[in-house]
Structure formats: C-alpha cells, structure tokens
C-alpha cells in the first residue's frame, strides 16, 4: 500500500471504531458484534504498528495505556474549578434560595428555576477537547492547577476520545467514579492478595486515576459523569444548565440520567428527599444532590464568592461516617476456618442506621490502622457494605494494635497464616467448622436428614457426641434422650431419617461432603462420569479439567479433598456404617444448547457462578463476559448488576434462575 492509502485506511478505521465505541458505551446500542469490533481493532493496531507516524491522537489504541509516566505534569485549568458551598438541612437550602433572590433583587414570592443533579462521590476531573479530539485530562488539584492524568483518563470507556462534533475548544468537567460492585470486587481481590484495602469507592477511584501505570487504571472499571463546562469557544444558543447538559450529551459525553429541572426551591428539596430514599439502590455512591440556578444568564450575574459559585449548592446527606469507640474485638471462625476480627462498637447512628459492629478484615488491616480495644475510631458505612473502621482518632489504653490469637478461639488448635488470613487448619474437628459442615451435610438438598437442624447440631457438637459427619451414623439409642426438648419420640424420628439417608444417590452424597466449590451441579457431573468415589479419587487435576470441563479452582479443590487421608477415613467410616450411595443414571449430555450464548449477573441460589458457567459449556453453549445484541440469554440472579440494566435497555432476553434450570434441564433431586 502506498502511504496515502495507509493513512486513509487508518483514518477510516479510527473513525469507525470510535463510532462503535460510542454506540456501545454511550447509546448501549451496538450495531456490530464484539467479534467484528475486535477485528477492526486488530486491523488498526497492525497498521499503526507499521506506520506509527499516522497514529491519530484519538486512536482507540491509546486507551490501552502503554506508556508509564514518571510523574504527573501540572495542568493549569482554563477557568478555576470551584468547589461548592455545602448545606445539610432544608433550612440552609431555603436560605440559599433567599440569598439569591436578595442578590438579584427579586421579591420573596418570585420563583427561581433550578436544575438538580446527583452529587457523585468520586474524583473531580477536567477534560480538554480541541477540534473534537480529547487532548488533555487533569485532576481538580487545588482548583487552579491539577495533575495531568491524560493517559489514565484515556483508559476509561465512558470518556470519548473524539466528540460527535468537532467543537473547536471545550473544557468538560466531570466526576470519575467506581461502582459499588467494582469496589467490592477490587477489595475482595486485594484482601486475597494481602494488599491494603480501599476505604471507599471514592478513594479507590482516586487511587486508580493517580496510578503511574495506565494499564492498572484500565483494569479498574471506572466511569465518568460530566456535570459542567469550563472554558469553551461557542455555546451556541444554550441558555440553561439543562440545555448545557443536553448539548454535552449530543457531543457524546456521558451525563447521568437522574437530572431534573424544577420550578422552585421546594421542587429541589423534593428531589433531594427522593434521591435520599433511592440512594442505596444506585450502582454508585452519591453523597447528596447539587442544586444549580438553571438560567445561565442569572448564573453569570450571580458570579462567585470566595471560590464558590453563588448560583449552586451541594445539599448533602447526613454523613455516613461517625466517630465512636471499640468496646471489644471478637474473633469468629467460619466454616472454612478463617479467623475474622469484628469490632464491637459503642452503638452509633451512621447515615440513619444504628451501627454496633464493624469488620476489621484481617491482621494486616488491623496493623495498618493500629486498632485495638478502647480506641476511638472513625466508622464508615457505605451502601450494603458491612460497616468498616476507617481509622483511629485517638488511642485508648493499648499502645499496640490488636493481635489475632495464635490458637483457634473455637478449638484451641494452632492457627496457621494462610496468605492474608489466619486459618484454623483443624478442618475435621474444629467445632466452629464442623457445625457448618454438619448442617450442610444434613440439609434437604444433601443427605436430607430431617430433624438434624442447626440447633440440634450445635448441642450434639457441644456435648462431644459428634465430631464429624460420619459420627451421625454412630449415634446410639438413648444418646439424644437427655438433650433439652428431645423426647423418645423425636429421637426415634431422627434415627428413622438418619437410616433413610443411607440410601441416597451419588450426586447428593458427593454434594453433601461439602467439598469447597462443589455445588449440586458439579457433584452430579462427578457422579455421572465417575460412577463412584473410587473413580474420583483416582482422577487428577488434568482429568477433571480437560475431560469434564470443570474449572481449575474447582478441580484443585476436589483433588485436594480426596488426597487428604483424614477425609478418606471419614468416607470409609460412612460406608462402614451402611451409607451406600447408588449410581446415577448417565444422562444424554452433549450439545443440547447448540451454541446458545449466556451471560450471568447477580447471585444464583442453586449454583455458584463457576458451576453455572460449567453447565453451559458442558452442554455446548458459550458464556459471554459483556452484554451485546447477539446474546441468547441473560440469566439474572439475586441483586443483578449493571449488566442487567444494560440488557434491559437493549431489550435482550432476560431469564431468572428457574427458567435457566428449565433450559439446561436440571433436576434438583
């Protein structure tokens, strides 16, 4: 190809990809498949590699974030980025309205129209577009000068690299945010890796933008909402704040849809009250609403006072942080043996709810914050997340941070440090762990031992009558008679259901063993393919993953479970006691789903995510990661996330768990 042709081709591909990005991220309405899209991107990348001189400033390949910046340069904002005056009560907001009227010389009864928006709890940024091309992005900094984070902002998909119109010059102000869901996932991942946790989505977003390596920013799932403009060459016939937002939208800029024009200050108060109720259900954190005079001419007349515009106020929610003290630290042991420190707090009202407990996560987090009993601490509650101790305000009687015990508080055995966690390894006889295992083993979908519920299990374990699941079958008549509330009749009934449970299918038996990550589906898969326990014991990780399509993590867990002698011993004792599972009929598997594609969002009741995906793949279907037009089914579980909203908007087929079960022809018994 001659250079002119190459340049033309690169130009065309760049425009085309930017257009599809816009359709996908802004309009939620892609017109080509991910596959076709990727093909375009690859074609462009290979051309750009050969002809770097033709790479355009708005090339989508710049989103990847290759170069690592040494440190951030300084950016002087075209117009200062002001901060808003805050109000925490209705009275303050009414007073704000009165002040404006006085300033403008209006009468008490006259009304001012306001534009109301959500106040996002994120990191304020400014984006500069020249001739429609994104050229520079910066943080707010001190309002006059910010940091140049252009490379990092380019990795955010909701920030267009090119506007829909080649506006000569415009500075767009917005807020970069992390969704609550991404925040939880990020912290869960960091906890696993033993890294310091982010206190809230705002800190996480801010930390992600101020990364020296843009490829880290790219992985953080950030979004941006615009709320205004700085300097611009031509606002056209835009007369109000509302029209300004509409103009930004028409340029392809992401503007949150919860925006409302109200005819007076009472309307704005009402907006605040509605959003306060709505707050917890939003995918991102907000800390209030912003009320702006809608008329831009009036805005100009009002001007600013000591670094804040006179025409806007942030009406903020009651703070979700509060200072209280730690009365005690309790260490609990879960079914998996992990020791979790929980702070018992002097009850405090935080964001309208009484909070008595806050998680301290693990030893690293305790050390980082230096927390101990008697300290005065700042506690934060955000959304549906468990309240958390943010930092120590003043130390109590203990100079050093709290130490997790070296012996299990439940069984007294040695505690082992396992990554970021302290773990009791006494899996088979630590009462805290065994109680959970026993309840699971006896549950309806497992061995279905009626009458062996949580309370009975607790007492049997506390009395030392049961130490592991096999012991259930070695209970003798009379053992239970002395238990509180346990008569001859109830004892007889329990023995009957224990006896009945001996005759059970292999799938349920394997499920009942409580192998980590093995839910009902994987259990039935194992039962069908191996027939019996001996077969599974002989399989190695490779067999499990390659032949049966079981995920690596599940396979490892199965392998390790059967490798452990003590587990094999318990299974032998079960068989010796007369438990004799029968083989499950092999069902016709194969390509029942014939290439149908699925996506999952929210949690399912009967499957783990891994399992559900394994089922789909095993049956010849495919699992997608992103929502798109070509999807066959969107399976929505409990608390579905943004994928659900997106799918709904795109009019895709959304099914619930029951329908999913029908499609995969899943039998629960």
Residues that bind Zn ion (CB under 5 A): 408, 410-411, 424, 426, 430
10 Å Cβ neighbour count for 493?
13
CA 498 to chain centre: 41
Compute the distance between CA of residue 72 and CA of residue 77 in angstroms, rounded to an integer: 15
Taking each helix axis from N to C end, the angle separating 201-209 and 180-193, rounded to the nearest 10 degrees, works out to: 80
Q: Tokens for 127, please give them.
A: 């984006």
CB of 416 to Zn ion, least distance (A): 11
Residue 46 neighbours by CB distance under 10 Å: 10
Nearer Cβ to Zn ion, position 436 or 519?
436
Both tokens of residue 657?
A: 């768990």
Q: Which residues, listed in sequence order, are joined to residue 228 by a DSSP beta bridge?
A: 173
Could you tell me the smallest distance in angstroms from the CB atom of residue 467 to Zn ion?
12
Q: Cβ closer to Zn ion: 261 or 426?
A: 426
Select 358 or 424, whichever has its Cβ closest to Zn ion: 424
- Assign residue 86 a region: left if phi > 0, alpha if psi is -120 to 50, beta otherwise? beta
**Rounded Cα distance, 647 and 50, in Å:** 38
Q: In the complex, what is the shortest distance from the CB of residue 418 to Zn ion, in angstroms, rounded to a whole number?
A: 13
CB nearer to Zn ion: give 86 or 340: 340
76 is catalytic: no
Residue (of 426, 401, 399, 402) closest to 413 by Cα position: 426
What is the rounded CA–CA span in Å between residue 313 and residue 99? Answer: 12
Question: Of the two residues 333 and 470, which places its CB atom closer to Zn ion in the complex?
Answer: 333
Report which of 400, 332, 329, 395 is spatially closest to residue 367, judged by C-alpha positions: 400
3-state SS of 29-73?
Answer: CCCCCHHHHHHHHHHHHHHHHHCHHHCCCCCHHHHHCCCCCCCCC
**Least distance (Å) between residue 438 CB and Zn ion:** 15
The count of other CB atoms within 10 Å of the CB of residue 332 is: 12
Measured distance CA(647)–CA(630) in Å, rounded: 11
Q: Which is catalytic among the residues 99, 119, 270, 649?
A: 119
**In angstroms, what is the minimal distance from the CB of 87 to Zn ion?**
52
CB of 431 to Zn ion, least distance (A): 7
275: which 2 tokens?
């959003």
312-316 and 321-333: which strand pairing? unpaired
Determine the straight-line distance between the first and last CA of the chain, rounded to whole angstroms.
64
Nearer Cβ to Zn ion (333/355) = 333
- Give 282 or 411: the residue with its C-beta nearer to Zn ion: 411
CB 463 within 8 A of CB 435: no
**Strands, DSSP E only, in 580-623?**
597-601, 622-623
Q: How far is the CB of 430 from Zn ion (least distance, A)?
A: 3
The least distance separating Zn ion from the CB of residue 566, rounded to whole angstroms, comes to: 14
Which CB atom, from 373 or from 411, has the smaller least distance to Zn ion?
A: 411
CA distances from 446 to 20, 117, 501, 575, 669 (A): 49, 51, 9, 16, 9
The token pair that represents 91 in the structure block: 């009275």
**Token couple for 18:** 């930017």
Tell me the pairing of strands 597-601 and 622-623.
parallel
State the catalytic residues. Answer: 119
């Amino acid at each position: 190809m001659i250079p002119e042709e190459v340049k033309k081709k690169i130009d065309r591909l760049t425009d085309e990809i930017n257009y599809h990005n816009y359709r996908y991220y802004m309009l939620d309405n892609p017109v080509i498949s991910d596959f076709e899209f990727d093909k375009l991107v690859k074609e462009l990348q290979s051309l750009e590699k050969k002809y770097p001189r033709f790479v355009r400033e708005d090339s989508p390949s710049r989103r990847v974030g290759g170069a690592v910046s040494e440190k951030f340069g300084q950016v002087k904002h075209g117009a200062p980025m002001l901060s808003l005056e805050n109000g925490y009560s209705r009275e303050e907001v009414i007073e704000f309205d009165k002040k404006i009227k006085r300033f403008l010389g209006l009468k008490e009864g006259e009304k001012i129209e306001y534009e109301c928006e959500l106040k996002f709890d994120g990191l304020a940024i400014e984006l500069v577009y020249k001739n429609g091309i994104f050229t520079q992005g910066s943080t707010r900094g001190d309002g006059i000068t910010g940091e140049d984070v252009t490379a990092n902002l380019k990795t955010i998909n909701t920030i267009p690299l090119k506007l829909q119109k080649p506006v000569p010059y415009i500075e767009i102000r917005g807020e970069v945010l992390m969704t609550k869901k991404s925040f939880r996932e990020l912290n869960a991942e960091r906890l696993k890796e033993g890294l310091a946790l982010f206190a809230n989505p705002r800190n996480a977003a801010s930390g992600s933008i101020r990364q020296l390596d843009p490829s880290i920013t790219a992985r953080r799932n950030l979004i941006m909402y615009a709320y205004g403009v700085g300097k611009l060459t031509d606002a056209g016939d835009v007369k109000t704040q509302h029209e300004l937002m509409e103009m930004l939208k028409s340029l392809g800029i992401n503007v949150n849809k919860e925006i409302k024009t109200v005819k007076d200050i009472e309307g704005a108060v009402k907006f605040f009250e509605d959003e306060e109720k709505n707050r917890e259900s939003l995918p991102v954190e907000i800390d209030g609403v912003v009320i702006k005079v809608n008329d831009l001419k009036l805005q100009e007349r009002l001007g600013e006072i000591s670094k804040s515009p006179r025409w806007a106020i942030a009406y903020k929610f009651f703070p979700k942080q509060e200072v209280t003290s730690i009365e005690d630290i309790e260490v609990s042991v879960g079914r998996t043996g992990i020791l979790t420190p929980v702070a018992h707090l002097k009850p405090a009202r935080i964001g309208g709810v009484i909070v008595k407990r806050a998680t301290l996560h693990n030893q690293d987090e305790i050390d980082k914050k230096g927390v101990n009993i008697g300290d005065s601490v700042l506690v934060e509650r955000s959304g549906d997340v468990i309240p958390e101790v943010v930092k120590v305000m003043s130390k109590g009687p203990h100079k050093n941070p709290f130490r997790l015990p070296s012996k299990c508080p439940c069984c007294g055995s040695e505690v082992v440090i396992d990554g970021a966690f302290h773990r009791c390894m006494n899996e088979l006889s630590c009462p805290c762990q065994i109680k959970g295992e026993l309840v699971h083993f006896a549950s309806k979908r497992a061995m279905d031992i009626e009458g062996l519920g949580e309370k009975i299990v607790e007492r049997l374990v506390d009395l030392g009558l049961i130490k592991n699941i096999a012991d259930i079958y070695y209970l003798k008549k009379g053992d239970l008679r002395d238990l509180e509330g346990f008569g001859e009749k109830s004892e007889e009934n329990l023995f009957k259901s224990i006896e009945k449970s001996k005759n059970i299918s292999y799938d349920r038996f394997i499920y009942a063993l409580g192998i980590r990550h093995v839910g009902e589906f994987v259990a039935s898969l194992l039962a069908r393919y191996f027939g019996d326990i001996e077969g599974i014991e002989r399989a190695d990780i490779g067999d499990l993953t390659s032949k049966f399509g079981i995920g690596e993590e599940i396979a490892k867990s199965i392998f390790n479970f059967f490798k452990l002698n003590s587990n094999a011993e318990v299974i032998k004792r079960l068989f010796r006691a007369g438990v004799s599972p029968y083989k499950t009929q092999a069902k016709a598997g194969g390509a029942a789903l014939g290439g149908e594609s699925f996506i999952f969002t929210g949690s399912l009741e009967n499957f783990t995510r891994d399992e559900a995906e394994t089922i789909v793949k095993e049956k010849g279907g495919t699992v997608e990661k992103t929502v798109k037009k070509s999807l066959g089914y969107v399976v929505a579980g409990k608390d579905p996330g943004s994928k659900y909203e997106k799918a709904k908007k795109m009019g895709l087929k959304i099914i619930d768990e029951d329908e999913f079960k029908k499609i995969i022809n899943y039998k629960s018994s």
